[in-house]
Structure 1
Amino acid sequence: MDRRHFVKNSALAICSVATISPTYLVARRSAEQMPPWLLEMVTRNDTSIESLRKFQVKDTDSPDLGGLRDGFDILNPHSTSAMVQCGAAGLFSPSSKYYKSTDLLASVNLAVLYLIKTQHSDGTIDLLSTNFHSTPDTGFLVKRLAMAYMLMEKSGTPGVDKVLANLKTFLLKCGEALSVGGIHTPNHRWVVSAALTRLNELWPNPKYVNRIEQWLGERIDMDADGQYNEKSTFIYSSLTDRLLITIAKGMKKPGLLDNVRKNLNMTMYYVHPNGEVVTDASGRQDKAVVGTLENYYYPYRYLAIKDKNPQYAAMCRMIEKTAGPKTGAFIDYFLTDPSLWVELSAEKPFPVSYVKTFANSGLVRIRRDNRDSTLIANNPVWFTFMKGNAVLQGLRFASSFFGKGQFQSEKIVRNGDTWELTQKLDGPYFQPYPKESLPNDGDWEKMPRTYRPQSEVQLLETKVRIKETAEGMEVEVTTRGTERVPAALELIFRPGGELKGVVKIENTKDSWLLKEGTGTYRFNDDTISFGPGTALHKNIALRGALPPMEAPTVFLTGFTPFKHVIRFS
């Protein structure tokens, strides 16, 4: 997922593409020489072209001629660029029904002319949902449209020179913005640099090179675990891998590939048994989302072949099985680099049984083949458990302690075979304000609590201990301090499964109590067992606690001093 595309049909998402050096663009190969998986990508791309053409403005009297609307019915450059990207792949591919289609080329040209019309005088475009006169969003388009230029140039489609001239006008004006404009986030530096790399491959310019070197001078934002600053395992980590590969090849900086390798090595330990990727520690919009690994397919395949790395090859085959159709988002990487058409090397299994700590992300991963757990610091969801396709999305614990009892721990500490998470809270009362400092007007805001003596201070310490068992995991929650505080432990499961052994809580959509014994959650052929239960009250909306998630949730309730051990298998 290179960027939010804002297209009207989700199938259009496969049009997100990237570029590589023109040195990889070789003479036209026949469709028979393309591997079957690439031919399938071409077929899916044809479907996207059909969808895109339905949403393109064709009224010659309309000022919006050539543009495409997003899901909110707003014309924008991102949706419109998808026509150019997907169209170029179709024009280039001998097996496409749009191969060398002059009719499709006309639609592509209209899209390019719309992009020129909406481009600002400074060379930038807008991301209408949030960013205006945006250099980074211009870069997101350029790094894909430069690839479209290369593909159309090699397609031999009659009349393509006129379209290329128009697209060149747009891209060179973008280059002016990219050479001087600013950014928002860490990955934007590499987006801009990769876009400039691609422009420099087409039209060499010292200004492009100087700006790339300036951004690279800040060095790559990678921690000791092999993770980038944003920790965005579904979106931006894989994006950065692809960007760095582009820059490494185009700028002849192979050292950048070491960062990609470190991230790919780390990511092998972020794989759930069902092929999803761990997203709990992300600092971006993909935090805790359900995501598969299609965005990593190109980096793993590129380095599996380049390095002859058998574990990367195994990761590729796993991605093909669990997210195969989604890899079509990167069709242009493969159309332009026939070296990636070869068969992958022999596999060496990637890790599926391990205990691995990622200190910089505040995360511990424990996997045993078909089941795994994730422990998370600095997060109200601090534990997950998966068994095949059955998913406990998280555990949360809260008490109604002065409206601030939602548990989360700053760190995870290992003590032998146990991991400990701790939270300490206080709840003071406040004495009269010092007489000598009293304001004359009795204004409460002029009497801050920091200057009031405290009394009757209440304390509550919550400690969570987690350890492996032969069948799964064991979680113990213990509190000490103030007594008779209502508390609740939440077991949040993924929607779509079936709960048994639990009792529905009245007047709730999907909230349940485990009063005693063991409950089960079944999803398809996989089952998670959990228990024993306890339910001393039905107050699941504790003051200060987070609202229930939109998911089937089982509650265990009690009062402080709270001590309960629950096992998952």
Structure 2
Amino acid sequence: MTDSGFEAVLQAAVADEVRRALAATVGPDGPHRRLMEHARLFVAAYLWPRSAHSGDAALIAAAGERVRALRVLQGPSGLFVGGDNVDSPPDSSFTVNDLCDALELIAQAPAEEQAALADLAAELTAIADAIEPALLVGGVHTPNHRWEISAALARLHRRRPSQALRDRAEQWLAEGVDITPDGVYSERSANYAAFVSNPSLTVIADVFERPDARQAVIRNLESTLGLIHPDDSVETVHSRRQDQLTRFPLAPYLTAYRRYAIELGRGDFAWAAGRALGGGIPHPSAVLTELLLAPRIGEELPDASPPAPQRAWEQSGLVVDDTAGRRLVVFGGSDYARFRRVRSGLSANPTFLRMFAGDVVLDSVRLSRDFFGLGPFRADRFTPRSDAGAPGHVLAETVSAHYYQPLDADHRSPSGEYALTDDGRFYGSMSFGDRATDDVSLHTVIDVEPTADGALVSIGIDGPDSPWALELAFRDGGVFEGVAESADGTGLLESGAGRYRVGSAAIAFDAGDDYRAEGTGRYHPGEDYAFLGASDAAAGSRVYLTGRAPGRLVLALRAEQAGR
């Protein structure tokens, strides 16, 4: 039986998307992905009987206009022009995947509608023919690109079976799907899982009969269940991609959870699909295309059942702890300790704790230090508490800077010229590796002990006298109580306890009777950002607790609800 609620939401989303796409200007520069996404949308909306534009010839004309503009963007290699990745096989594959799905929609349509779309199909076929040789030899530069380009090869094979297409896809697949035992892809990104890896591996599994690809998707969906927050976002603090500093909605996971909930009869996936639909349909073109190509996605879901909690994602250094009154996220899996740099493709978010409590969200807890520009605390060790039976985790880090001694006689240069080398913070023509050093180190240990209504966060900092600031960044929409307002609009907890309140809910933060602020609070992103004039500072309403090393701080976080 059809899920009428799902179809009603999709119907409204498609109508709105068609309206906006028809009003969009078709420019000479594309971009190519948007041109083809709109063309696919018009084809799908024309063919879907529930669409407000079903059978509307204006959509065929609009699709043709986009496809002709796309053809102009196809370079001599067959790849599309545009974007920061020049002459890019994987970027072109995103467009090819939409193009091949549009061709498949036409191929599956009734004969009368196929005839109406015949000219458009011929234009799409010519573009696909021209790009196929480039995808048979083209390379990639990120892990997920392997699956995007393999999905394009699969779709090209679906329209016209070719051993060469299958063999090339098998070359990529022979590397093995990059999914960890805890069900997270190597990039640890909700964005790329939802938009690239899961949909790509699904079509690869369907076309090439690869159960390993299908199982990877199911494992990722299982893992993601435990990362769905009360606000219907998916945790990203551990990501190695751009979404590590943003909130990512559950909505893009909608069709994956629907498909596998129905195929496998899984109530936990149905629960996730229901939650995802509550966030709307941000990409109706993709959802409608999937529905038309796999109508079973539109069937009624099995009865929803909340998932069993997953507590830890060991390979990601991530722990989630739930009680009836709050949710904690503890993160100690940054790549920064290993590579000592911030780069695209590395996990570097310094947030080590989040807390959800009703309408109040403590989005980020970070520890900032003024210590040689080495930046905020990012754990290099993350272990369960050693106390027998005591819940919680310990995060630790040691950072060091060096003072260099004169070179030995055999390393001196008569010209005074020395190798330009990396100190770990900066480069200098000093041949740093040939010098003896005097090291200055800062040791930090953070013990997070969950409590029924919050957490006890114990921080110990050992090393030379240097200032630190603990930053609590709350999601906007509330007010601080018991906090002194600073000139920059942030808050400072001068002593004792404060709270952040949203309506009847609050999170209290209590530093105890012995705490006294030392200095004003501010966040230091470290030299990786500062020398560029940039920052990875957290957004929201921020309050600081301040002190100096060596020192100790014990902070109690507590969820409060009026009437409880």
- Fold match by TM threshold 0.5: yes
Deviations 1:308-359 (A, max 9, x none): 11211121122223x133363522111222222221112222135x6x2212
**More displaced, 275-284 or 359-368?**
359-368
Deviations 1:63-109 (A, max 9, x none): x5xx5xxxxxx532122112211101111012323212222211111
Show the counterpart of 1:324.
Answer: 280
Q: Is the 8 A contact 1:231 1:237 kept in 2?
A: no
| Distance apart, 1:500 and its partner CA | 2.0
2:300 match: secondary structure: coil
Show the counterpart of 2:158.
Answer: 201
| Distance apart, 1:514 and its partner CA | 0.9
Show the counterpart of 1:373.
Answer: 328
Give the letter for the 2:475 counterpart.
Answer: R
**1:537-552 mapped onto 2 (5 Å cutoff):** 537-538=519-520, 540=522, 544=526, 548-552=537-541
Show the counterpart of 1:395.
Answer: 365
CA–CA distance in 1 between the matches of 2:104 and 2:524? 59
Provide the aligned C-alpha RMSD in A.
Answer: 2.4
Show the counterpart of 1:382.
Answer: 352
Q: Is the 8 A contact 1:297 1:316 kept in 2?
A: yes
2:378 match: secondary structure: coil
Q: Give the alignment partner of residue 516 of structure 1, picking from 495, 498, 516.
A: 495
Q: Give the alignment partner of residue 412 of structure 1, picking from 376, 382, 385.
A: 382
Show the counterpart of 2:408.
Answer: 434
Q: Give the alignment partner of residue 563 of structure 1, picking from 552, 555, 560.
A: 552
| Distance apart, 1:465 and its partner CA | 0.6
Change (3 A) 1:165 1:129: closer
For these two proteins, the number of residue pairs brought into alignment is: 516
Deviations 1:284-313 (A, max 9, x none): 111131111122221211111111112111
Show the counterpart of 2:532.
Answer: none
Show the counterpart of 2:99.
Answer: 145
Show the counterpart of 2:561.
Answer: none
CA–CA distance in 2 between the matches of 1:513 and 1:433? 46
CA–CA distance in 2 between the matches of 1:296 and 1:543? 33
**1:174-323 mapped onto 2 (5 Å cutoff):** 174-236=131-193, 239-321=196-278, 323=279
Show the counterpart of 1:122.
Answer: 77
CA–CA distance in 2 between the matches of 1:454 and 1:105? 71
Q: Is the 8 A contact 1:297 1:327 kept in 2?
A: no
1:260 match: secondary structure: helix
Is there any run of 5+ residues in structure 2 with no aligned partner, and where?
A: 335-348, 419-427, 530-534, 559-564
Give the letter for the 1:555 counterpart.
Answer: Y
CA–CA distance in 1 between the matches of 2:318 and 2:281? 30
Change (3 A) 1:125 1:558: same
Deviations 1:485-526 (A, max 9, x none): 2221111122333222211112x1x31101123222234554
Show the counterpart of 1:29.
Answer: none
Show the counterpart of 2:85.
Answer: 131
Change (3 A) 1:277 1:543: closer
1:365 match: secondary structure: strand
Is there any run of 5+ residues in structure 1 with no aligned partner, and where?
A: 1-31, 58-63, 68-73
Q: Is the 8 A contact 1:274 1:388 kept in 2?
A: no
Change (3 A) 1:452 1:318: same
Change (3 A) 1:458 1:342: closer
Change (3 A) 1:113 1:431: closer
| Distance apart, 1:418 and its partner CA | 3.2
Aligned: 1:554 with 2:538 = no
**More displaced, 105-114 or 433-442?**
433-442
| Distance apart, 1:530 and its partner CA | 1.4
Aligned: 1:527 with 2:506 = yes
CA–CA distance in 2 between the matches of 1:223 and 1:351? 20
1:222 match: secondary structure: coil
2:312 match: secondary structure: strand
**TM-score scaled by structure 2?**
0.85
2:384 match: secondary structure: strand
**More displaced, 471-480 or 362-371?**
362-371
Q: Give the alignment partner of residue 168 of structure 1, picking from 107, 125, 128.
A: 125
1:38 match: secondary structure: helix
Show the counterpart of 1:5.
Answer: none
Show the counterpart of 2:56.
Answer: 101
Show the counterpart of 2:342.
Answer: none
Deviations 1:378-425 (A, max 9, x none): 242211112234221211112223332521111311123231111223
Q: Is the 8 A contact 2:482 2:497 kept in 1?
A: yes
CA–CA distance in 2 between the matches of 1:140 and 1:226? 24
CA–CA distance in 1 between the matches of 2:460 and 2:557? 18
Show the counterpart of 2:431.
Answer: 448
Aligned: 1:487 with 2:442 = no
Deviations 1:138-190 (A, max 9, x none): 21112122222232341644632111111111122222222221111111111
| Distance apart, 1:276 and its partner CA | 1.0
| Distance apart, 1:271 and its partner CA | 1.3
CA–CA distance in 2 between the matches of 1:543 and 1:123? 43
| Distance apart, 1:50 and its partner CA | 1.8
Give the letter for the 1:434 counterpart.
Answer: D
Deviations 1:367-387 (A, max 9, x none): 224521222222422111122
Show the counterpart of 2:33.
Answer: 78
**TM-score scaled by structure 1?**
0.85
Show the counterpart of 1:53.
Answer: 22
CA–CA distance in 1 between the matches of 2:299 and 2:186? 34
